[in-house]
Amino acid sequence: MLVAGDDCFADYPCQVYADSTHPASVYRRVVGYYAVHHRPVGAPAPGAVMVLNDGAIAVFCGDPDDAVGTAQTLTPVYRLEPAGPLAVPTGLVWIRFAETIMAETRGVAITALGYQVVEVPTYAPFAAWLRAASGNVAEALTGLARLAALPGVENVAPQMLMERKGRA
């Protein structure tokens, strides 16, 4: 369900599960919003409806074609359903294996699926942060089901940034 201004996001899935253990919990792409990544930290973002990571990512309403030609990366914006907050994909993916499987031993299988290991946390050697080997955010999102199908995987979840809400 793409509209004219959304064509630059045709490679992105319209729906992404929040994590593989709860496939009914999904993010749906929101038409009419786009995110600009790799902005200078702290730079003003006039007209932005949301800024993340100290301004390195800004979310705008409108047609993403207006921002085409910038040096930054553009991605669609998603919403956690039903009626949840806006969420921006980073291209990072969390994968967790059974606690008896060290993530570093699955590097060949991960690479074969088009991903690379970014980090294996010392506190969770059975898990890792991944990104698409190409660095392409759309490819990171479209391969989630393939990662979840690897033997011994207990959970796969895309990293989605959302605006932090303070407690009242």
| pLDDT at position 68 | 53
With beta carbons less than 8 A apart as the criterion, state whether 154 and 144 touch: no
H-type helices in 59-113, by residue range? 107-112
**Dihedral angle, C-alpha 121, 40, 3, 159, nearest 10 °:** 10
| pLDDT at position 167 | 53
With beta carbons less than 8 A apart as the criterion, state whether 57 and 135 touch: no
| pLDDT at position 67 | 60
Domain 90-162 fold: Alpha-Beta Plaits (3.30.70)
Q: Where do the domains of the chain lie? A: 9-85, 90-162
**Dihedral angle, C-alpha 118, 122, 128, 129, nearest 10 °:** -40
| pLDDT at position 50 | 94
| pLDDT at position 8 | 79
Q: Give average pLDDT by consecutive 10-residue segment, the chain, 168 residues.
A: 56 93 90 92 90 92 69 87 92 97 96 97 97 96 96 97 72
Rg value, the chain, Cα: 16
| pLDDT at position 165 | 67
